[in-house]
Amino acid sequence: MTDLPARSQLVRDRLREEGIEGEIIVLPDAASTAPLAAAALGVEVGAIANSLVFWSDDGPLLVMTSGAHRVDTAALSERLAIPGITRATAQQVREATGQAIGGVAPCGHPERLRTVVDQDLAAFDEIWAAGGTPHTVFPMTFDQLVRVTGGTVCRVD
């Protein structure tokens, strides 16, 4: 097994706590966007669970969206009754997750984040998420993603 970066080790440890056995893969090139990750893995871009961090008056909000979607913050704000959802800054992302933009995993953060999971990810038998760095990814199922994040499933676009 390849030595994992420290951030990815935290993610792996959290996955194991939840009984999720998918191995974190270290890619030779950064896969910091859904299209790059899909191309590197040979999967549909929709099967990439893109981790996006937003901010509101309530603090950070992690949105796990299909790589085929853009998040409609106004619609999501209305659906969740959370006013003023805006994209987090790079510093806010790092503070909330301990991870850099382009490598944010669904777990392995200093504290569990309020999370929304895109309902359209359920269409895939296997989805791929970042493993804590832009060079690491791992497979999981939709149900595992919902379980590990404690996320609310809803439409995000």
Q: Is residue 1 part of a domain?
A: no
pLDDT tens-digit series, residues 101-116 = 999 999 999 999 999 9
Helix (H, G, I), strand (E, B) or coil at 156: coil
pLDDT for residue 79 is more than 80: yes
Q: Is residue 57 part of a domain?
A: yes
- Write down the mean pLDDT value for the chain: 94
In total, how many domains does the chain have?
1
Q: Is residue 133 part of a domain?
A: yes
pLDDT tens-digit series, residues 81-104 = 998 899 999 999 999 999 999 999
Structural domain of 63: 6-154
Is the CB of residue 154 less than 8 Å from the CB of residue 116?
yes
The pTM for the full model equals: 0.94
Q: At 92, which CATH number?
A: 3.90.960.10
DSSP secondary structure code for residue 98 in this structure: S
Measured CA distances, 78 to 60, 74, 106, 118, 129 (Å)? 16, 6, 23, 15, 26
Give the model's pLDDT for residue 75. Answer: 95
27 HSE (CA, 13 A, CB side): 23
